[in-house]
Copies of this chain bind each other. A is one copy, B any other.
Amino acid sequence: MAVSEILDEIKFNADGLIMAIAQQHDTGEVLMAAWMNAKALQETLDKGQVCYWSRSRGKLWRKGESSGQTQKLVELRLDCDADCILLLVDQTGVACHTGRHNCFYRAVRDGALVTIAEPEIDPKDLYGG
């Protein structure tokens, strides 16, 4: 089965996108979720480095290209409906643009939305001040 046949299995949405969840392969930490189109998925499988599709910028988003915080693909999984991908990755540094290790740093506790993790790296050091 070539990459094209894997792509044929996937149910992209009306915008040609599929949601991808990135999980640190050894700790189980859910790092982030973002979108992929067929090109991003193909590049991810070809190169073994995770590439998303940036809806805001309208272009391929090679994770870590500017920040250095890359995601090496360990395994790509597909769900039962073929409309969601789970990426088992090895994260270099932090996954979140805020400098936090993962993007899910706000939690509902005692009826309030509270911040439960602080940045490990100053975003200025990731993207320039």
Evaluate contact between A6 and B104: CB separation under 8 angstroms: no
Identify which of residues 78-98 in chain A touch chain B, using a CB-to-CB cut-off of 8 Å.
78-81, 84, 86, 96-98
A77 to B32, CA, bound (A): 12
Number of interface residues of A (CB under 8 A): 40
Other contacts beyond A3-B111, A23-B28, A27-B28: 6, CB < 8 A: A1-B111, A21-B33, A28-B28, A45-B108, A77-B116, A84-B104
Main secondary structure of the interface of A (DSSP, over half): mixed
Picked from B81, B105, B107, the residue with its CB within 8 Å of the CB of A75 is: B107
Cβ of A45: which chain B residues have Cβ within 8 Å of it?
108
Evaluate contact between B80 and A98: CB separation under 8 angstroms: yes
Is the CB of A29 closer than 8 A to any CB of chain B? yes
Cβ of A84: which chain B residues have Cβ within 8 Å of it?
33, 103-104
Is the CB of A30 closer than 8 A to any CB of chain B? yes
